[in-house]
Amino acid sequence: MIGAGEGEAIGERIRIKAGRPEIVVTESRYEPGRHGPDPHVHRHHVDAFWILEGRLAFALGPDGQEVEAGAGSFALVPPMVVHSFRNPAPEPARFLNFHAPGMGFDEYLRSGVPYDQHDPPDDGGRSPSEVIVLSRGSGEQVALGGVRASIKAGRRDALGSLAVVDLVVAPGAPGPVLHHHRETVESFYVLDGVITLRLGSREVEAPVGSFVLVPPGNDHTSSSPRGEPVRILNVLAPGGLEGYLREAAAAAAKAGRSPDPDELARIASKYDFVAA
């Protein structure tokens, strides 16, 4: 578990939270007026953002059309879409950045080695209309038991290499059965409250600002035993597991109750979800 504000420091404003082939996660702080990299494209991965505080303005396409987004917003830029970003506001901006697949972005930050970042193509690249920008509370809404979810991106989007789900877990709501994933890297960033995570035989409490990454093959589950709701950002690389939540929620809505364990096991068998 990485605590609030922690991670491998790159200068004063960037912290690497995770660096894996499937995904690189960083947390950055931009002072008012600060610009990110010059307009560029990625050929083989998506570049996504979750704004924790403040605002970002994304310049998209060859004409640099700007779209602003505030705290709680999510943005995903597919491959070959020209983009850059800046902090347009009078206060600092703090945000998570996801590169999926990782493409060595962490090594680029450490030493400047080349990675999948290129000048805008002569043809202008793909249309900026393919970029996803969602404000807080928007996205596909699903509910399952004591969990309300807003699916921001998943297997259906861009390369399918990233899923991001904003989860609100009710007090006392049980989590899924202890399980692991064969291929999916699952991570959690705590936005509000305290979540209890079981990682194998170990149990940890993760407060606001904590980041936890679970590699494939590691048993885990989560719960909200305290008397307050918990809001977490669930990040999965590649995407696909959001389909389990979507299908289980649809089954619950159809039956008027939570699916029984056999039904959940049947649904889970379609996805990268293996009960311990």
pLDDT confidence of residue 175: 84
SS3 category, 49: strand
Distance from C-alpha of 210 to C-alpha of 206, rounded to nearest angstrom: 6
pLDDT confidence of residue 129: 97
**Closest residue by Cα to residue 175 from 190, 195, 191, 194:** 195
pLDDT confidence of residue 212: 97
CATH class of the 8-134 domain in this structure: mainly beta
- CATH fold of the domain at 140-267: Jelly Rolls (2.60.120)
pLDDT confidence of residue 234: 98
Q: Per the structure block, which two tokens stand in for 263?
A: 């039904």
pLDDT 10s per residue in the chain (276 long)?
Answer: 899 999 999 999 999 999 999 999 999 999 999 999 999 999 999 999 999 999 999 999 999 999 999 999 999 999 999 999 999 999 999 999 999 999 999 999 999 999 999 999 999 999 999 999 999 999 999 999 899 999 999 999 999 999 999 999 999 888 888 999 999 999 999 999 999 999 999 999 999 999 999 999 999 999 888 889 999 999 999 999 999 999 999 999 988 888 887 888 889 889 999 998
By CB neighbour count within 10 A (0-12 exposed, 13-18 middle, 19+ buried), where does 38 fall?
exposed
pTM for this prediction: 0.96
SS3 category, 249: helix
Domain boundaries, the chain: 8-134, 140-267
- How many Cβ atoms from other residues are within 10 Å of residue 16's Cβ? 18
pLDDT confidence of residue 164: 98
Q: Do domains 8-134 and 140-267 have the same CATH topology?
A: yes
